[in-house]
Every structure is written in structure tokens, then in C-alpha cells.
Structure 1
Amino acid sequence: MTESLATHPDRLLPADPGTRSVARTLLARVQDLPIISPHGHVDAAVIEQNTPFPDPAALLVTPDHYVTRLIHASGVPLEQLQPGAGAREVWRLFCESLPLFDGTASGYWLRTQFETVFGLPGDLSADTADATFDAMTAKLAEPGFRPRELFKDFNIEVLATTDDPLDNLASHRALAADPSFHGRVLPTFRPDAYLNIAHPSWGTNVERLIETASDGGTGYRGYLTALENRRRYFVEHGAVSADHGVRTPATLKLDAAEAERLFERARSGQATAADRDVFEAHMMYQMARMSVEDGLVMTIHPGSYRNHHQPTFEAFGADTGHDIPFAVDYTEAIRPLLQDFGTAKDFHLVLFTLDETVFSRELAPLAGFYPSVYIGAPWWFLDAPDAMLRFRSAITETAGFSRSSGFIDDTRAFCSIPARHDASRRIEASFLARLVAEHRISEDRAHELIVDVVDSSPRRVFKL
């Protein structure tokens, strides 16, 4: 019988026997620590309402653009992977396509979920599609597979969501008040659609924001007041961070008169693409100012060309697999913000990238000087085993271990959370084991470091 890859005790650990032995002991030190997930996209209502997941396709395929994009690349029309295509039919296509994921991070997570969460063989196929669909459907109907029970089984301590600034956060409030729920589900302030004047709903969003939260203020000043008030509302409901999915990491300090002129030009529909970039850069500066004042950790996720294929966007909307990374420049772009706030007391700024060339060239040196700057973990296209190892190698010689954020799963796929965190812990154990084997750090120190990287860092960086 072939040994399972998805549950092999040495998966992702070094091939060298001596180094692997050290990695095993390091992994054992952190394997059972609770999951701290300070950035992700699971809907809080899923946890609060505790309703059963509808079917295997809706849980693992249709909402996950990591999955649908690669199947689509093989020639499957995207409409055949949408909820309306029929859950069983979508699942059949997924099972037929599973070999496409060999060697990918998605394939690793999926196979781990099948075996460790659902008790199914890791290698599904077209021949087993109907049987596994039925088996998983039956599992999802069991009381033990409700979201709250899985939250506990997954050993999740903290789960942060991503939320619209005008969300009433009712689900977060209900969970915080529920004595039967012992985890923490925290909202995250995500104002992209209120800062980026190119967003198709920007004008409508801004009018709603000012009307709802400006304390009677109008224009640009009312806009800033409304953003400040909504941030405070999020803090009152447990938020620890504000996340910004911007096109570039550019920041810029405008005087109030110029900012107001840009704001009004945008409201009248006369803003240019250059206006968009300048205004968003200025608002990133303003978001940093607000973070210094209200204490929210500021995270920046730049460098994605959103909705690269316009026909797909028009047919299926955003987050459907065609966001493509591009190169970014942090050193000059972030300097205006850091001139004023880089050494501000208790300001935490977490810088992510999809351009891994900036890890050693820019982010590690920035985090190695500015007390406010932390290096965001590999994200999206980079949250894969080899890329995570490259990340550690790229940043550690300049910034050490203390200046990184801790692992970020950044997922909508709830059942993949433990698999993703397990993969990260194995990679951290592997990297530290190599340093031990090369006599660059002691094994005792490696045991301290892995606890810090896995558990203490996210608590420290995200003020948990």
C-alpha cells in the first residue's frame, strides 16, 4: 500500500536525515500551538450563524480562485466552475482536474484537507468523484462539521475577517457576546473601495460614508471625519488592524487644499488616472496618520493587477482568478509615510509584496531600521513551500526573525486554514534546522525562535 503523502510525518521537512531529525523536534515544539490568523477572508456570519456548509463544491471549489484559475487555464470554461453550474458537476470537473495541482501549494492543502478533515483519500479522481461528493456531503451534514465545531477542532484562537467600513459588524458583536463561543473573531477595516477613486462604486460609497459617519461634516473634511469615526467603531468592536489592498505602495502628503481639490474633482467625475494615483497615495498617508492616532495596525497588500481579463471581470466579477502580480518599488514609494510616522510610538506597519525581489533588496532593510516596519509573510502566489523558504533566506540575514509578521493564511477557504498553518510551521522548522545543522544557531535557540515565529510574532505585530 502506498504511504499517504498528505499525512506523511516528514512532509515538507528536509531530505537530509540529520537536518530532518532536528526539524522534527522543532516541529513538535509548535505543532499543537493554537492558530493565530490575523488576516483572512472568512465571513464572520459563517461562524456566528453556524449553518452547515452547503456542499463540497461550494466549500472547496467555487469560492477559491486558487483552484478555479488553474482548472480554467487547462481549458475549462469558467462558467462551468460557478455555483449555478451544479454542485455535483463542478465537483466532477474538480476531481478530473486534481492532477493539475501536483507540485502546487493548492494541491498540498487540498490533499491535506481531504485526509485530515474529511477522512478521504488524498488522490481523488474522475472515477471517485460521485462517491467522494456523497461522502463529503454526508460529513457536512454531521453536527461535528458545523463551522463552530470545526473552529474548535482546528484549534483556532484568533481569526480576523476583512470587512467593509460601513459594515455594522453584527456577527462580530454576537460572537463576542456569546458565552458558548471561546474563540476570537476580529473585524478588519478594509477601506479600498472608499479610497480608490477608480473603483466603480467610489462615488456612491463616499456619499454613504459621509451621510452615515461624518458628524454633519461635508466635503473632504467630512470624508476624513467619517473614516476616522468608522475606524473607531471597528476598534470598539475588537479590530486590531486596517488592511489596504492598493495598486502600488505609493504614499504622498498633500496639503489640505490640494487634497480637497482632488476629492471634489473625483466626486464630479472629472478625475484622471493620474489623479487617482495621487489621491490614493495621499490617502495611504492619511491612513497611517489615523493608525498612529487610533492604534490600528496598518497592513499594505500592493502589486496586483486586478481583473486582468476584462471579459471575465464583466461576466463573473472580481476575485475570479485573473489578478496578476507586477513589480513594485517600496523604498521611494513608502518614504513620505515613513518620514513622518516611521518612528512613531506604537505604530505598526506590515508590508506585504507579490514581488519577492523586494524581500532582501527593500523590505528587510526597511524593517531593519524603522521600529514601525514589519515584513509581511509570503502572500497569495508566494504562500507556497519553496517561496516561504526563499522568504526566510531573503530577509533573515538582514532583519533577523523578529521583524516578520508571522504566517498569514489570507484565505476564504475555511477548511484549508489548518493545512496552511501546518505547512508554514513545517517550513519554519526546516529553515531553522538548516541553521542548526550548519552551526549558525544552537538547537536550544532554534526552539525559542520557532515559538516566537509561529506564536509570539503574530501576537506582537498585530497587538494581540
Structure 2
Amino acid sequence: MTQPSHLHPDRLFPASEPAHSIARDLYPAVRDLPIVSPHGHTDPAWFAQNQRFSSPTALFLTPDHYVLRMLKSRGIDYDALGIPRKDGKPVEADGRKAWQLFAENYYLFQGTPSKTWIDHSLEAVFGIKEELSGGTADSIYAEIDRQLATPELLPRAILGRFNVEVIATTEFALDPLTHHQSMAEQGLIGQVRTTYRPDDVTDPSRPAIIENLKRFGEVTGEDVTKWDGLINAHRKRREYFRRFGAVATDHGVPTANTADLSAPEKQALLDKVLADRHDANDAELFRAQMMTEMALLSVEDGMVMQIHAGSRRNTDPLLMAERGPDLGADIPGPTDYVGGMRALLSRCGNEPNLRLIMFVLDETTYARELAPMAGYWPSLMIGPPWWFHDSPQGIRRYLDQVVETAGFYNLAGFNDDTRALLSIPARHDVWRREVCGFLGRWVGENRLSKSSAEEIAKHLSYQAAKDAYRIK
């Protein structure tokens, strides 16, 4: 049988040129592209005030829940690491001592992306090539501290040094955006943007939900005891966030469930929440309805909707009671996007102005659900590997599972989703290297030409995020 002329004769056979060599050829085209960081959790005060970081500990240890959770897993007390307590009881106040403890246990991070990011930061930012350990802790601390006192290590200088074109912080609906107001006065809006995260007023499982909703009404001048007033309050607040560069909303939900209730059912549910008569099922239904409402508002105003589903948050009640959220006790859970999103997509999935980016911690859904969904629905895109899977192996698994069904252009590129400023360039570099490695294998199998691979690598490393988040 004659082979079709359009197929390369060596397609899918091993290449004569090793894939890693092809990847090395692709990497220089993406290595120095500007960084677009359209979703993250860095502190906006860093950029508004542009003051030096107080210590190496404040830069590398205390804001990084990836680091904290590993140390916790080996029985290291958060008091000894200087993590504040709600009750005001004393914790280690000497940053050097906390750093020494961290360094003595740095071997625990072998094999983890945290070590990749920290090692990259130490060398690329501070020129430190020594391995962090108990023996080198003091000298490395002193060198970092010395450099932190220089203008080159101020927060805005770091953004310039690593060619960060756009970085987005994330603030809750009730946040006054004080730091973003300051940046607007300084002419910084555009490079540093906010993101609207309304979980504080859409999640009835939060202890302060009733007080939060009351404040929400006061801030917006809307009667949030009425469903229409509640939605209009969101409409106003989203407009306020857009004044400070917001192009996206973000929703951290335990499931991907959505709902489309009737007007009387929605009002009855709101009444129940405001009267503190709701149970866990009511809270889930309220969140599900709010997902659909947020999508409808996105159809109106064009803000890109992000759903970060599948994290069972703050699973250690003692840690939550002692110190609060986001300190490492979050654990992935299974996620049903096909069933969960049915109500939302039935209502507005075909609306041309809707852009919804799906994130998940349940990797089993990539090939089974997210890739087929994004490969059909024009409103859906797949977010990059998130949280536990933001790693070399996680990126490889992700690309292997989604590309053949969703293609390259239904992917939202990369965002680093981090609180640790210096890990941003490291994370983007890992993504770019893994993209080149993936494409190199495909070129090696004659599934792509080198020129197409270079174009795709540039897209996934830079332009995809700008396109996905509608950043001009």
C-alpha cells in the first residue's frame, strides 16, 4: 500500500536528532521573553511601598506554604519558624534562628519543585551557588541580607530585572484596594493589577459570612438581603476592581458545581444564609448558584472567570484555630467538571463574551474531562498545572494528557499562582523548559516541524496568557 504523500516517512519513529538536543535549540527563543503573571498572591504592599524585604526569612520562608507544609510534615513547629499566632503568644522573633532551622532541614526538599525554585532564586538573584545547609546557613543569610539592602533588590526593581511585563495580585471583594489606589496615583496600574476574588461573600461555609454580606451591602450601597441587590453589589464591585487593572475574577471552590435556580429559590436560599439556618448542602448550593451568576456577569463585563476547584482547604482544624488559613494544610480532592459545570454551560456556555479558565488538582480529569470540554466549548480554556502539580513532572503529565484533545491553543499558557516573589522567574523558566522538552519530542517524532514548535513554544511561554486573560 502506498503511503499518503502528506505524511513524513519517519513520522512517530525515533529521531536521528535526540529530542533533548531539539529542546535545547528551542529554548533560547523563549528563555528571555517577558513574564506575564496574570494570577498570583504576591503582596500588593511590596509594589506600592517599594521597601526592602525585612529579611531572608520573610522572603523565602514565612510566605511560602509549600515550604511550611514540608517542614510541618517532619514535626517542625511553626512557632520555631516564626509563624504568627492568633492568640498573640510569642513565636521565634529572630529571623536568623528560623533560617538556621530551615537550612538544617533543607535536605527534605530533595525531589520537590520548592528546591528547584529556591536554588534558582539563590543563584539567579543573589549569585549564590553553595548548597543551603546547616553549615552554610549563616553565610548565605548574611549575603542575602546584604543584597536586600541594595536598590537592585527592591520589589519593583525585581520586576524590572526579570522582565515582568504584567503581574496580578488577588484581593477579596471587601478589600479596599488601598495599595492599588496608591499604585494608581504613582502610575503603576497596568504592570501591577488586582483580581476580583469574591469568596468572602459567596461562600457560606465561612464563619463571618453574615457580617461579610452586611459589609458588602454597606460598601456598595445595595440591599443585599434581596438577590437582585446582591448581584448588583457584585456588579458594582467588579467595576471598581477594573479601575485598578482587573481583567479577571477568581473563585476558589471545593467543587466545580454550578446551579441555575429559579428566582424564588435563590431568594429562599439567601434568606436561609442570612438567618444562619444553612447547612453544608445549602452552602454548596449557594456557591454553585454564585458560579453561574459570576459567569453571567462575565458575559456582561468581559472579565475572565477563573475556577480553582478541588482543594479541601484548611484541613487541620488546630492549625486553622491557632494561626489561620493558607499555611499548608490544603489537600486535593476529586473533581467532576462535566457534571458540575452543566448548569452554567447550559445557561451561557455559548455566549461569545464568556471566557472561563478551568484549574484542577485532580489530574485524572485532564484527559477525561477538561481537555474534551475545552476542545468543544468556545468559552472554556484549561489553566496550567496548579499548586501540587506546578512542577517538572506535573507539567509533563499535563501536556501529555491535554494537548492531543484540546490542542495547544485552548491552553491558557502559564501563571505562577504564588506568594513567593522570587519564585516567579524560576517557575516560568521551568514551564518554558518543559514546553521545549515536550515539543522537542514531537519534532523528534516528526509530528511537528521545528518552525511550528518554535512558534508554539513562544505562544505558550508568553502570548497565550495575554490572550487568555485579554491583556492588552
TM-score range, shorter chain: over 0.9
Distance 1:388 1:122, change over 3 A: farther
Give the match for residue 76 of structure 1.
76
Aligned counterparts, 1:103-182, within 5 A: 103-179=111-187
1:377 aligns with 384
Shift of 1:252: 0.2
SS in 1 for 2:136: helix
Whole-angstrom distance in 2 between the partners of 1:237 and 1:113:
29
Deviation at 1:98, TM superposition (A): 0.9
Contact 1:110 1:416 in 2 (8 A): yes
Q: How does 1:31-430 map to 2 (within 5 A)?
A: 31-83=31-83, 84-85=91-92, 86-179=94-187, 184-215=191-222, 218-430=225-437
**CA-CA distance at 1:80 after TM superposition:** 1.4
> In the alignment, which residue of structure 2 is the partner of 1:6?
none
Tell me, yes or no, if the aligned pair for 1:27 and 1:429 is still in contact at 8 Å: yes
Q: After alignment, is 326-335 or 167-176 more displaced?
A: 167-176
Percent sequence identity over matched residues? 41
CA shift, 1:183, in A, is 6.1
**d(CA) in 2 for partners of 1:168, 1:139:** 33
User: How far apart in 2 are the matches of 1:156 and 1:394?
Assistant: 29
1:122 is displaced (CA, Å) by 4.6
Q: 1:421-453 CA distances to partner (integer Å, 9 max, x unpaired)?
A: 011100000000000001111111001111111
Alpha-carbon displacement from aligned partner over 1:219-275 (angstroms, at most 9, x marks no partner): 332221111110111122211000000110000011111111111111111111111
Query: Does the residue aligned with 2:250 lie in a helix, a strand or coil?
Result: strand
Distance (Å, rounded) in 2 between the aligned partners of 1:157 and 1:122 = 31
- d(CA) in 2 for partners of 1:53 and 1:147? 8
Distance in 1 of aligned mates of 2:409 and 2:181: 33
Q: Distance in 1 between matches of 2:190 and 2:122?
A: 24
With structure 1 as the length reference, what TM-score do the two structures score? 0.94
Q: How far does residue 17 in structure 1 lie from its aligned partner after superposition? A: 7.3
Instruction: Give the AA of the match of 1:185.
Output: V
Aligned equivalents of 1:235, 1:124: Cα separation in 2: 42
User: Aligned partners of 2:222 and 2:126: how far apart in 1?
Assistant: 51
Supply the distance in 2 between the matched residues of 1:177 and 1:303 (Cα, whole angstroms). Answer: 38
Question: C-alpha offsets along residues 21-47 of structure 1, whole Å, 9 cap, x if unaligned?
Answer: 211121100111100001100111211
Q: Counterparts of 2:190 and 2:424 in 1: how far apart (Å)?
A: 15
Residue equivalent to 1:5: none
Shift of 1:316: 1.5
What SS class does the counterpart of residue 306 from structure 2 fall into? strand
Q: Report if the CA contact (8 A) 1:367-1:375 is conserved.
A: yes
How far apart, CA to CA, are the structure 1 residues paired with 2:351 and 2:442? 34
The residue type paired with residue 463 of structure 2 is S
1:388 Cα shift?
0.3
Q: What amino acid maps onto 1:170 in structure 2?
A: T
SS for the counterpart of 2:135 is helix
SS in 1 for 2:467: helix
Paired residues, number = 448
RMSD: 1.4
Distance 2:34 2:467 in 1: 15
For the Cα contact (< 8 Å) 2:173–2:199, is it kept in 1?
A: no
CA distance in 2, matches of 1:249, 1:269: 24
**Closer, same or farther: CA 285–148 of 1 in aligned 2, 3 Å:** same
- Where 2:54 maps in the other structure, the secondary structure is coil
Cα distance in 1 for partners of 2:228, 2:355 equals 25
Q: Which structure 2 segments of 5+ residues have no match?
A: 1-15, 84-90
Rounded Cα–Cα distance in structure 1 between residues aligned with 2:167 and 2:448: 33
Instruction: Measure, in 2, the Cα distance between the counterparts of 1:206 and 1:417.
Output: 34
C-alpha separation between the residues in 1 aligned to 2:100 and 2:417? 27
Shift of 1:216: 5.4
Report the residue type matching 2:47 in the other structure: I
Partner of 1:10: none
CA contact (8 A) 1:364 1:375 kept: yes
In structure 2, the partner of 1:8 is none
CA distance in 2 between counterparts of 1:224 and 1:330 reads: 24
Task: Give the SS at the match of 2:419.
Answer: coil
Maintained 8 Å contact 2:214/2:224: no
In the aligned structure 1, how far is the partner of 2:266 from the partner of 2:376? 30
Shift of residue 134 of structure 1? 1.4
* Aligned counterparts of 2:224 and 2:116: Cα–Cα separation in 1: 52
**Which segment is superposed worse, 375-384 or 17-26?**
17-26
Judge conservation of contact 2:314–2:329 (CA < 8 Å) in 1.
Answer: yes
Q: How far, CA to CA, are the matches of 1:190 and 1:291 in structure 2?
A: 13
Cα distance change on mapping 1:326 and 1:215 into 2, 3 Å: closer
Secondary structure at the residue paired with 2:80?
Answer: helix
Separation of aligned partners in 1, 2:319 and 2:224: 40
Give the Cα separation in 1 of the matches to 2:112 and 2:281: 38
Q: Within 2, Cα distance between the matches of 1:270 and 1:167?
A: 27
